[in-house]
Amino acid sequence: MKITGAQAIIESLLAEGVDLVFGYPGGAILPTYDALFESKERIRHVLVRHEQGAAIAAEGYAKSSGRTGVCIATSGPGATNLVTGIADAMLDSVPLVCITGQVASSLIGTDAFQEADIVGITIPITKWNIQVSRAEDIPNAIAKAFYYAKDGRPGPVLVDITKDAQAGMMEFTEYAKYVPRGKKSTQHKHSDMQFIEIADLLNNAKRPLILAGNGVGIANAEEELVKLAEKATIPVACTLHGLHSFPSNHEYFVGLLGMHGNYAPNILTNEADVILAIGMRFDDRVTGNLARYAKQAKIIHVDIDFAEINKNVRSHMHVQADAKYAISHILRFVQSNNHKEWHHRFKHLHDQEYEQVIKAELSHKGDMIRMPQAMDLVSRKTKGEAIVVPDVGQNQMVAMRYYKFQKPKSHISSGGLGTMGFALPAAIGAKMANPDREVICVAGDGGIQMNIQELGVILQEKLPVKILLLNNNYLGMVRQWQEMFYEERYSFVDLVSPDFVALANAYGIKARKVTSPDELEEAVDEMLASKEAYFLEVVVEKREKVFPMIPAGSAVDEIRLS
């Protein structure tokens, strides 16, 4: 049948199982929006208020569902507004298909109105991108896009389609999903002997440690990880993105790695004799000073991306494979074990952190609310079963440390890029992917204002997202660094903010502000009981700091409790 290129876009999306897209219309993408109008019963379109919101909402959708997120924008500023979200998805291995309109092919290179070389701009931050200038090439381009977004290590791809390609006619027969010819995969080509050797290292280790990263959740390997830890009695520490991959209440969970992680796993990384690192890339926030990172340990690195092997940390053995495949094979050969003394070492250090930091924060008596008190309360009230979407900054570190995640795909956060403004649009995407789960956006007064216009989506789509604003009237994390390392020279971190309750009310969202510890529990109960969206502003201690902390340039075992 004869259809337009724009209609071919829609048919291609439907063939890939897409039923939800995030976007914002404009001149160069109008033919596609016209085709969307015809198909609005089959594909739900969410009108964001800024294209960055489209990319990040698609991330929230993808991270919380395991599916590929889709966003659409027009040419020029519409396309360039996607860039931060695309870069965020690239660093955090999130599968996104970004479709952008482009000026007519005859105008490319003329500096036409709203022309930008989005293909050139996004080459470093996409797995694959392409510009399409003929209608008949559209289905194959989109098929490739969906393949590359999920193949191997997931990530974002971009398809830029000229306006004349969208408007042009083509013969559409049957959509064919992309299967590369003659692809030689190095994945899942490992002998039993390799896994026997890995199991042998673990079986003979006195102080083994598992480091679980983002790849565990991407591979849906949470159950296998629990079985491995239980069979071999190995402590499990998690990266920021690995937090929801292992239950926080499990006896072998020893905490969060990294700059503001838990005391015990950071200290004992530099005492472990064998480290099994699964689906994590040894980024600088986890390793601290690389010259002094785990030099005593034999490191076994499992990662689907060969480029990550030996990139930052030299491994003793490595397996290029997804986490589910690797853990399943290690499980075949690993033996039951006992590491009581090693576990006791973790408990001893955890008790130190609990007494000096956690207990002190949670039992603090004063006129002001502490951020950990608010997060701990939310964690207990939701039994650790909500999807929590923190922003970037102190609120993010507190959410990671004090929310006790019990379910997979429950912690949706910006890790590698550290994108302030992430939480609100990502929470929208997560809620649309998981309408039956509680979704809580946790933000600071700085980050919330970077994409606060997306409250309009909550209004228009009637989404019951809960927003917890931890307001200290500061750019808190920057202020903490200035206080600790810049002799309290507070350079441009003081925030004068709007009346958030009035602002939320203007978007038709129920809202409340609390300033006293005595009000907190009742307010949290009210927020969680609401069947509609709710905005809870919690005014917290202005000069609060987040500890523990590994100072920049320090080793992981130089983590400070105060």
* Active site positions, annotated: 51, 113-114, 163, 477
Nearest one of 423, 358, 341 to 388, comparing CA atoms: 423
Q: Which amino acid is at 159?
A: V
b vs e for 234-265, b when ≥16 Cβ sit within 10 Å of the residue's Cβ?
bbbbbbbbbbbbbbbeeebbbbbbbbbbbbbb
Distance CA 389, CA 121 (A): 29
Neighbours of 178 (CB within 10 A): 15
Neighbours of 518 (CB within 10 A): 10
Q: What contacts 351, CB < 8 A, 6 or more positions away? A: none
Q: What is the DSSP letter of 123?
A: G
Distance CA 398, CA 411 (A): 13
Burial degree of 231 (CB within 10 A; 0-12, 13-18, 19+):
middle
Look at residue 131 and give its three-state secondary structure. strand
Residues in a beta bridge with 236: 210, 253
Neighbours of 422 (CB within 10 A): 31
Give the angle 550-209-406 at the CA atoms, nearest 5°: 80
